[in-house]
Amino acid sequence: GRHLLGLEGMTAAQIEPFLDLAASYALLSRSRTPPRDALRGRTLINLFFEDSTRTRTSFELAGKRLGADVINMTVATSSVNKGETLLDTAATLNAMRCDLLVVRHAQSGAPALLSRKVEASVVNAGDGMHEHPTQALLDAMTIRRHLGTLRGLTVAICGDVGHSRVARSNIHLLTAMGSKVRLVGPPTLVPAAMASLGNVEVFHDMEAGLRDVDVIMTLRLQRERMGAGLVPSAREFFRFYGVDRRRLVLAKPNALVMHPGPMNRGVEIASDVADSTQSVIQEQVEMGVAVRMAVLDRLSRMRVPA
């Protein structure tokens, strides 16, 4: 459709065109010759109700590299602070005839709600604990560049899986593309019931979970989504679930180490592992721009001109 709200239910055939177009944009970005006219005359508004470094900046760059007019609405200094509701804010932006609305919100389902109220194409840039589809697409692209395919790979998603929209989008994408997914972490953060998400295995033992995997994805502790008293101590977490050298060797030789960011060194990942030759964390960021160019381009082509 004309929105990208999540990856749940999408097939490999629906996901692959985004990855293929993103791959061509990654090449063009490296040669510094992106087509500046794909979004010429279009307006993109970044509407971020939660903090972001990577996602907001890369949507801005992606829009500008394709020739769009890009507006960053800083929610912290907007009239949201004066009590304007999400839907009234959306109606206001709609009246300005924006074509693409990129939304991050603490509430799961907020982008889907907006998509029913505005004429713009809505892109979910992360909603609560629900989905972060462009993150999973950029992760998939990074894996494909190194390992050639997603089919048949074993991917361990480690740490605070339960609170993670990144994990949910990755579970949907990776299982659709034929990867095996392991969810690895303590029972408080990776409830055994998560196995019912389909085609995933739950491990509470880090050593067992990492054995012979092709890819290790690490996630930060999302303290903002934990109730008081449920936050594990950083030191204890690192001791039992941190990805350090000793644990890295349990995975396949040259297994990829990934992190969506922001990372907390010495909590979910050891600093030397984050900076090791197996780490593709900076490449994930680079692919983020290419993936967002592909998403904006494809969605804007699916829009019927007013």
| Cα 221 to the center of its chain, rounded Å | 16
Size of the site for ligand CP (CB under 6 A): 9
For ligand CP, the binding residue among 29, 260, 274, 297 (CB under 6 A) is: 260
54 is in an annotated binding site: yes
Q: Which CB, 57 or 78, lies closer to ligand CP?
A: 57
Region class of 97: left (phi > 0), else alpha (psi between -120 and 50), else beta: left
Give the nearest distance from C-beta 262 to ligand CP in angstroms.
6
- Dist. CA 125–CA 111, nearest whole Å: 8
User: Min. distance of Cβ 119 from ligand CP in angstroms?
Assistant: 26
- Does 282 contact ligand CP by CB under 6 A? no
Nearest to 111 by CA among 64, 66, 46: 46
In the complex, minimum distance from the CB of residue 173 to ligand CP, in angstroms, rounded to a whole number: 15
Residue 135 interacting with ligand CP (CB under 6 A): yes
Q: For residues 163-222, which are near ligand CP according to CB under 6 A?
A: none
**Which one, of 211, 217, 265, 277, lies nearest residue 238 by Cα?**
265
| 228-265 CB burial, b ≥16 within 10 A, e <16 | eeeebeeeebbeebbbbeebbebbbeebbbbbbbebbe
Residue 111 · residue 123 · CB < 8 Å = yes
Which of 52, 78, 107, 199 is the binder for ligand CP (CB under 6 A)?
52
Of 48-56, 69-77, 156-164, 249-257, the window that binds ligand CP (rule: CB under 6 A) is 48-56
Q: How far apart are CA 170 and CA 167, in angstroms?
A: 5
Tell me phi and psi for residue 189, to 5 degrees: -105, -20
Q: Using the minimum distance from each CB to ligand CP, give the nearer residue, 202 or 293.
A: 293
Q: Which of the ranges 4-12, 47-55, 113-121, 289-297 carries the binding residues for ligand CP, by CB under 6 A?
A: 47-55
> Residue 19 has which token pair?
């990855």
- Among the listed ranges 22-30, 155-163, 191-199, 259-267, the one in contact with ligand CP (CB under 6 A) is 259-267
Q: Which is nearer to ligand CP, 184 or 219 (CB)?
A: 219
User: Which one among 54, 64, 117, 225 touches ligand CP, defined by CB under 6 A?
Assistant: 54
- Which residues of this protein are in contact with ligand CP, per CB under 6 A? 52-55, 126, 135, 260-262
